[in-house]
Amino acid sequence: SAATTFKDVQANHWAKSAIESAVSKGYFKGYGNGLFKPNASVTRAEFASLISRVAKEIPLSEAGATDSFKDLEGHWSKAEVDRAVSLGFIQTKDYPNGFKPNTPITREEMAKWMSSGLMTSSEEYKKAFVETKETLLPVKEAFKPGIAQAKLPYLAIAMGTNLMNGFPDGSFGMDKTTTRAESSAILLRLEGVLKKDATSFEDLNELRMVGVKKTNLELVSSLTTGNTSISDISGKRKTFRNGAGSLVFHRLLAVNVSDWDKKKSIYAPLFVNELDKSFLNSRNVIPLFSEITIYPKATDFSVAHYMNGVIDMTGGFRIDNGLDKKFGYQTLPNIESAQYFAKHKSGVKMWVVNYISLNKASGQFNMDDGSFVTILQNQK
């Protein structure tokens, strides 16, 4: 059938082809008067109907839910919401006071619904859910105000499968609503994701590895920790040799920049931007980003105390490209560091960077309890 064109979707609209495709597949309907209303918000009822249409391939094993919500009696969306509940997209316990079908759906809800549906249809997504409980999402909210562990895996599955992405400002926008245009694009992605295995998504594999192993090193680079493991030193303390304080190590993230236009790692936008390009391109190195908490003890504790207090790879440098401001994470201060640490007497969590040469890669992390990690070039 010829693509339906809408008076209110300009030829150069970013979602034009997604809208026309979603309409031609019968997921979305126009308003009958040649209008699509691409910027109108999508309600819970609408999104439930959309996903139950996209998941049309999935047969219902049992008769399916019949009366999921009391407040849907006589509502146009009732049958499709019931189907979305039966398919596991919507959990009735999330809406104890009724479904409120005409409420605009938030991006957090969308992520939860789609991830729940994927988990219902696949054991591998259930595993991914468990493995991403302690992962790091490359979005602002992960740092401020922080994302509750109960919510994290739903967002991780939605981002890891590229069903949903962060905004240009670095945020996920959990409370934001979604337009009909955006939903068209998301639905077409969902249609594709439903046909694939969870393990086929590089970003999801990376989020899972970081959740479990506290690093993505071996997934994105030719470096290895051999028979040692970052998870062995995660949560361990290292006392500075000058007695000025200590640090606790959390995780290590690598970004492979050997091909600048195709950086390997979902974390590239979090840590690397154009300001790093000439430095990274001129040297055959891989940047390694460590999350640590520094506990200052000396009264006038400054960056120098930390730099001189460690001689292994727990010592790192300031991330100096401004991305700490964009995403809201901490890095080493570049000026007035004594004032900075005076404000953080009880400890401050931050990210520091090290550069490892790909020619003769080697580095070590040594903790107080004798646990250690060695980083080497993978000889395989």
Q: Is 4 contained in some domain?
A: no
- Domain of 363, in residue numbers: 214-377
- Asked which of 174, 208, 242 is the last residue of a domain, the reply is 208
Identify whether residues 267 and 162 lie together within a single domain: no
DSSP 234-264: TT-EEE-TTSSEEEEEEEEEE-B-SSGGG-B
State residue 30's pLDDT score. Answer: 80
For 149, half-sphere exposure in the C-beta direction (CA atoms, 13 angstrom radius) is 5
State residue 57's pLDDT score. Answer: 66
Kindly tell me if the per-residue pLDDT of 1 is higher than 50. Answer: no
Identify whether residues 71 and 179 lie together within a single domain: yes
Q: Is 11 contained in some domain?
A: no
Q: Is 225 contained in some domain?
A: yes
Q: Is 6 contained in some domain?
A: no
d(CA 338, CA 77): 60
Q: What is the mean pLDDT of the chain?
A: 93
- Asked which of 146, 173, 208 is the last residue of a domain, the reply is 208
List CB contacts of 286: < 8 A, sequence separation 6 or more: 221, 223, 254, 255, 256, 257, 258, 355, 356, 358, 361
74: buried, middle or exposed (CB in 10 Å: 19+, 13-18, 0-12)?
Answer: exposed
State residue 63's pLDDT score. Answer: 52
d(CA 135, CA 156): 8
d(CA 116, CA 93): 13
Q: End-to-end alpha-carbon separation of the chain, Å?
A: 53
Q: What is the mean pLDDT of residues 121-138?
A: 97
- Asked which of 157, 188, 208 is the last residue of a domain, the reply is 208
Secondary structure (3-state) at 267: coil
Please report, as a single letter, which amino acid is at residue 189: R
Secondary structure (3-state) at 243: coil
Identify whether residues 153 and 20 lie together within a single domain: yes
Could you read off the pLDDT of 334-357 as tens digits, one per residue?
999 999 999 999 999 999 999 998
pTM over 0.85: yes
The token duo for 16 is 């034009």
State residue 67's pLDDT score. Answer: 78
Q: Is 39 contained in some domain?
A: yes
Could you read off the pLDDT of 86-105 as tens digits, one per residue?
999 999 999 999 999 999 99
Identify whether residues 128 and 174 lie together within a single domain: yes
